[in-house]
Amino acid sequence: MPLLRRKPFSLAEPPEDLKPDEPVYQIRFTKEIFQDYHDYLKRLNLYRQRVWMCKVTGKTGLTYEEALVSEQLATEKVQQFPKELMTIALRIIQYSMLPLKDLADSIGEKLQEQLFVGAELHWKKDDGVHPCKILKVIQKGVDTVSYEVAWLDKNKNIREQAEVSAEDLVHKKPLFSRNILKSFIRESTYRNAPWVLHDELAKNHGISTDIPEELRGRVFYKDGLLVCSKKRKHEESREDTDTCKKKLDGAQVDDSVQEKENGQPKDAAIKYPIDDLLVIPSPDDPVFTDRPSPAKSFNIPMSCVGELLMVWDFLSSFGRLLQLSPYSLEDFEIAICHKDSNVALVVESHAALFRLLIKDDDEYSLAVKNRKLKSKITTNNWTEYLCHFLEMINIPELWQHKTTIKRGHYGLVDASAKLRILGELVNRALETAIFRGKLDEIIEQRQALGATRRGEALENGRRRREEKERLKAESESNGFVDGYHLNGENVLANNSIQNGDVGEKRIIEIEPSGQNDPLGRSGIKHLNSAPKKTLKKLNSELKEPTENGKELSRKESPKQLKADKDSSEKNSDEQRKEYFEREMEKRFIRRSPLGKDRDYNNYWWFCRYGRIFVESCDSKKWGYYSSKEELDALMSSLNCKGERERVLRKQLEKYYSTICSELQKTSKDLMHRFVDESVLRRSTRVRAQPGQNPSDACLRYKNKYHKEE
């Protein structure tokens, strides 16, 4: 049983008034049952704290469950202890007063001398040492013993047998490690100083439980357990005095003071954050708003949203490498759902991936050469490249669409199949040497940025320390010492000495160091109190000229100048920090979610698109937030007592300004698109010349990054 702060801990007893149909809360690894959820939560939180100790190995800083596993593993090792040696070890342990380490070493030395059947050791032969195993112990006389051993090869197979003496057998390493012996001692005893075996264990091995002569009077049995006798009166008095002194000095009270009447320690207070599902409402909690429901207006099936986002994010992020100019997520979604077979945006996206594979994918480039396809990919032949790719990957779910695509009816293929094909193309592109080289380059750039940021932080810290030391030295040289301003021979003590209701200011005269003082010390002489006019005059004399020739009052001291400089440096540091974050975002390697809520829903944000996407824990449902009001409501609904929602809120706070600007930008773009579509519909009714429909932007897409070869 694991120990709580090195002391035994009793599990909770099952409730006596438990009804058969009553709902209860059970802890999985202890099988404890609780009727009250708050009691269950407190006990579970206690088990998750790293205050437990493995009773067998002595490891500390574990959770209860980790301590249980440690005890099980250690017990399995202890059970492998040879029975022939167990009695010898137990006799050494019984009533020993040695510390644990010394006792383990003593047992190890004793067992090293023992030779038993099955022991693996080494035999001296032909000026060498060879591994062997004892098969039989042969007793030839009262003091004469020989052993029948078998020689072992590298695989521990028996080669031959022989009879040898004990002098010819050697141990190259101890039979048991010190840790195993320590675990064996802890497992076999119920107390230390002296170490006492469990009664049943001692009885099974024929070991006496009688107290040795040297320990009688110091220990005795009470209720079947060995306890120490009472100390002498002066020792008790001294111990009580030391205990009282510790309490008066503010020392920590022992954990036993916190025990309940039934002997169990009090449950520790809940330390947040904890698992979100264990958080229960509290009167001290802030007011949480209702979490807004995310919008789910997608043109593609809900199960394909994840694939859509993955493909679009890859094509947009590595557009320069693919020679593919970026486009919006709305245009990409519309293009995937379009029934036209030669949508410009879809054709260019496939062509960019095909060009990369032809350059660096040996298998695909060989297939293209064997088919003798034209080197230039156009709207007329791009489907041939696509069909060859489907033949190469040979996926049955996608293979069935080959005939439809070959006949020129790509637009009739399901959106899910289109995205699945693009996903396979992206996965293939990720394996190319060109892309891996680009990733290595990005990683090097990120490392260089990180090194530059760390170097600037160290340099700023060094510069601030030097500036602080310089200002301190200047203030001391100019006469600012402990709040006094030294000016030649006089100093104004700006301290008010309160005598009743009278505040008195004093003038102090300071003689120059080393002139009138034979010891070379500054002599300070108090003069009579000065009138108010004199004080005003001295205050005016204490004004210092600034760099521009203007006078600077004492309130406008160098500290004020330092504060202004620190403020400007702080703004500069924040700008540099934002710059590094932007550069890191440009060189991203893999996209990760912002975080999760209590129900394990993932929250995704893409810097090139003003929406926060919500992915269910099973990745089957998707939604999104598209306004600043929804973002604020989401943040107000997160409970920071939970581990997951705490991390999510921190990430949202970190990127709050950037996300808000992107949300507003996307909202404006969608509003302009809606207005343009409304104008287009109205102009159609009045038979006016129609403008360009924003929904057909995917048809008018032009790849500005691609250079004709």
- Region of poorest pLDDT, from 234-238, 306-310, 452-456: 234-238
Measured in degrees and rounded to the nearest 5, phi and psi for residue 154 equal -65, -30
Q: Where are the alpha helices (DSSP H) in 479-557?
A: 532-541
Whole-number pLDDT of residue 183 = 81
Q: How far apart are CA 22 and CA 96, in angstroms?
A: 52
Residue 637 confidence (pLDDT) above 90: yes
Determine contact, residues 35/18, Cβ cutoff 8 Å: yes
Note the pLDDT of residue 550: 43
Whether the predicted pLDDT of 532 surpasses 50: no
Torsion-angle region of 525 (φ positive above 0: left; ψ -120 to 50: alpha; else: beta)? beta
Kindly tell me if the per-residue pLDDT of 651 is higher than 90. yes
Lowest mean pLDDT among 175-179, 531-535, 595-599: 531-535
Checking if the pLDDT of 528 tops 90, the result is no
Q: 173 or 625, which is more confident?
A: 625
This prediction's pTM: 0.53
**Topology, domain 82-221:** SH3 type barrels. (2.30.30)
| CA–CA distance, 696 with 694 (Å, rounded to integer) | 5
Task: Evaluate whether 377 touches 323 at the Cβ level (below 8 Å).
Answer: no
Average pLDDT score over the chain: 77
At 397 the pLDDT is 86
Question: What are the boundaries of each domain within the chain?
Answer: 3-77, 82-221, 270-298+592-708, 302-431
Q: Which comes out higher in pLDDT, residue 94 or 673?
A: 94
Which range among 221-230, 486-495, 641-650 shows the weakest confidence by mean pLDDT?
A: 486-495
- The band of 236, judged by pLDDT with boundaries at 50, 70 and 90, is very low
Of 655 and 233, which is predicted with more confidence? 655
In which order are the strands placed within the sheet that holds 169-170?
158-165, 145-152, 128-139, 120-125, 169-170
Q: How confident is the model at residue 415 (pLDDT cuts 50, 70, 90)?
A: very high
When comparing pLDDT for 695 and 273, which is higher?
A: 273
pLDDT tens across 273-318, in order? Answer: 888 988 888 888 888 989 999 999 999 999 999 999 999 999 998 9
Q: pLDDT-derived band of residue 346, with 50, 70 and 90 as boundaries?
A: very high
| Top mean-pLDDT range of 123-127, 140-144, 417-421, 535-539 | 417-421
Determine the average pLDDT of the residues in 458-481. Answer: 82
- Residue pair 147/136 in contact (Cβ under 8 Å)? The answer is yes
Confidence (pLDDT) at 694:
65
pLDDT of residue 681: 54
Looking at per-residue pLDDT, the higher value among 50 and 364 belongs to: 50
Structural tokens at position 516: 């009138």
- Token reading at 406: 């070959």
Give the separation between CA 339 and CA 343, rounded to whole angstroms: 9
Contacts of 523 (CB under 8 A, 6+ apart): 510, 511, 516, 517
Q: Kindly tell me if the per-residue pLDDT of 146 is higher than 90.
A: no
Those residues whose C-beta lies under 8 Å from the C-beta of residue 170, and which sit 6 or more positions away, are 121, 122, 123, 124, 129
The whole-angstrom separation of Cα 295 and Cα 293 is: 7
Q: Smallest Cα–Cα separation from 266: which of 256, 254, 276, 274? A: 256
Closest Cα to residue 350, out of 380, 376, 397, 382? 382
Summarised one tens digit per residue, pLDDT across range 180-224 is 888 888 888 887 778 888 888 888 888 888 888 777 767 666 655
pLDDT at 361 > cutoff 80: no
Residue partners of 47: CB distance under 8 A and separation at least 6: 27, 29, 30, 63, 64, 65
**Omega within 30 of 0 (cis) for the link into 558:** no
Q: What percent of the chain has pLDDT over 90?
A: 22
Greater pLDDT, 415 or 192: 415
Please check the confidence at residue 616 and state whether its pLDDT lies above 90.
yes
Q: Is residue 50 classed as helix, strand or coil in its secondary structure? A: coil
Instruction: Tell me what pLDDT residue 569 has.
Output: 61
Query: Which contiguous run of DSSP H or E holds residue 552?
Result: strand 551-552
Mean per-residue pLDDT, 476-480: 66
How buried is 250 (Cβ within 10 angstroms: 0-12 exposed, 13-18 middle, 19+ buried)? exposed
